[in-house]
Amino acid sequence: MDKDGQGELSAIITGFNYAVSQGTDIINMSLDYQNGNPTAYPAAYNEVVAVGSVNKSNQHASYSNTGNHLELVTYGEDSIDGSYPNPLQWIYSSYYKIDWNASVVYIGEYLYAGTSQATPQVSGLIALMIAANPNLTAIEIKTILRQTATDLGDPGKDDIFGYGLINPAAALNTTNLSLTPTTQPSCGADLDCSGSVNIQDYQAWLNSSSGDLNGNGIIEITDLVNVLYLWIKI
């Protein structure tokens, strides 16, 4: 982008390719709001995490695009009445500021609002996740972010908030759990060690951390399948 924030898509792609060739794990990018909420690329690619913005009341920010490709939201701030963002609610950010009268660009710290303020928060969270577990794949990262997000708006994924508001503590906790394999219970799917797999074991799986039967640090559907399979088999 030039000093006016303008540029060609080809230049952005060239920048992406160079960053990847240098071993970059995360690329953060924010582009301007587009009227009509079109399906925008590269945000809509499956490999990309499309980020929207909410204000401090967890309400949709007026400038933030929506759509089926939106995955997550976080705080970019906004005005209460939905008009142009209120500076009192802006985020202190590293940014450039243009003095149009003097044709001068200033680089520094300023109060701003926008998806440009929201997106780096998600990028930073992903960086922390990779630092905690360098073996995480892109799919695993997206899955953790989706599963740990705080649902907003309509239940489940929607076009305004995606999967919801990022929850850094929950995402990092899940990441750390995946680092340390747990010891599989000595009685396997027989969680109460009664000598048989029965309805009590199913209840134990629902209510206890000992339900991590495959020892991957996460209680998930595969653990339930183990309990139900052995219960039915016996």
- The last residue of one of the domains, among 135, 151, 177, is 177
Q: Tell whether 202 and 134 lie within a shared domain.
A: no
- The string of DSSP letters for 159-220 reads TTTBT-B--HHHHHHHHHHTTSPPPPPTTTT-TT-SSS--HHHHHHHHH-GGG-TT-SSS--
* Residue 144 burial (CB count, 10 A): 24
The verdict on 45 and 97 lying in the same domain is yes
In a domain, 218, yes or no: yes
Q: How far is CA 42 from CA 39, 69, 185, in A?
A: 9, 10, 45
- Give the pLDDT score at 100: 64
164 and 196 housed in the same domain: no
Backbone angles phi, psi at 26, to 5 degrees: -130, 130
Q: How far apart are CA 223 and CA 230, in angstroms?
A: 11
Containing domain of residue 48, as a range?
Answer: 32-177
Does 131 lie in the same domain as 55? yes
Does residue 26 fall inside a structural domain?
A: no
Whether residue 144 lies inside any domain: the answer is: yes
Per-residue pLDDT of the chain (234 residues; tens, 9 = 90+): 665 667 787 888 888 899 989 998 899 888 765 666 677 777 888 888 999 999 888 899 888 888 888 999 998 876 544 455 566 667 777 766 666 676 666 677 777 788 888 999 999 999 999 998 888 888 899 999 999 999 999 999 999 999 999 999 899 888 876 554 444 444 665 666 666 666 666 666 555 555 565 566 666 655 565 555 555 444
Residues 47 and 133 in one domain: yes
Q: Which two tokens stand for residue 86?
A: 């209120």
Q: What's the pTM?
A: 0.67
Q: What six digits make up the tokens of 226?
A: 């183990």
CATH number, domain of 207, equals 1.10.1330
Cα separation, 133 vs 127, whole angstroms: 10
The count of domains in the chain is: 2
Boundary-marking domain end, from 151, 177, 203: 177
Token duo for residue 61: 């920010």
DSSP line for 107-149: EEEEEE-SHHHHHHHHHHHHHHHHHH-TT--HHHHHHHHHHHS
Q: Which two tokens stand for residue 228?
A: 């139900």
State whether 75 and 191 are in the same domain: no
Nearest-5° Cα angle at 108, 106 to 114:
100
123 shares a domain with 96: yes
Residue 41 domain-assigned?
A: yes
Same domain, 103 and 168: yes
Residue 5 lies in a domain: no
- pLDDT of res. 126: 94
Same domain flag for 63 and 38: yes
